[in-house]
């Protein structure tokens, strides 16, 4: 799966493997960097292509599941016949 251009404005949370400090960045930033420095502990955090692909796939999967849940919530519920 290529890194989707459609997710350029989506926020992604990246966690430092050393101190677990969260860093929020847009997809456009995630696609262009290879590593970043943790704001808390200063560790150099590497972000390889395969990890980026997993993050983007997870985002797409969550969006599909979310929209499927909204659709089923909006569908009319069957009426049960109590005379049976």
Position 80 scores a pLDDT of 46
Q: Where are the alpha helices (DSSP H) in the chain?
A: 27-32, 49-74
* Residue 6 pLDDT exceeds 50: yes
**What residues have CB less than 8 Å from 23, skipping those under 6 apart?**
13, 14, 15, 16, 36, 38, 39
Q: List pLDDT tens digits, range 42-74.
A: 999 999 999 999 999 998 888 888 877 665 555
Tell me, yes or no, whether 57 lies in a domain: yes
Could you give the C-alpha distances from 23 to 2, 49, 81, 83, in angstroms and in order?
23, 18, 53, 58
Q: Across residues 11-34, what is the average pLDDT?
A: 96
* Residue 29 pLDDT exceeds 90: yes
Number of domains in the chain: 1
* Residue 16 pLDDT exceeds 60: yes
Token reading at 81: 């016949």
Tell me, yes or no, whether 58 lies in a domain: yes
Tell me, yes or no, whether 76 lies in a domain: no
């Amino acid at each position: 799966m290529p890194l989707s251009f459609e997710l350029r404005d989506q926020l992604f949370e990246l966690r430092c493997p050393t101190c677990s400090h969260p860093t929020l960045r847009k997809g456009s930033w995630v696609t262009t960097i290879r590593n970043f420095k943790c704001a808390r502990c200063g560790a150099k955090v590497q972000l390889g292509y395969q990890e980026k692909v997993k993050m983007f796939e997870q985002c797409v999967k969550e969006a599909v599941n979310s929209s499927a849940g909204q659709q089923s919530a909006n569908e009319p519920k069957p009426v049960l016949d109590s005379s049976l």
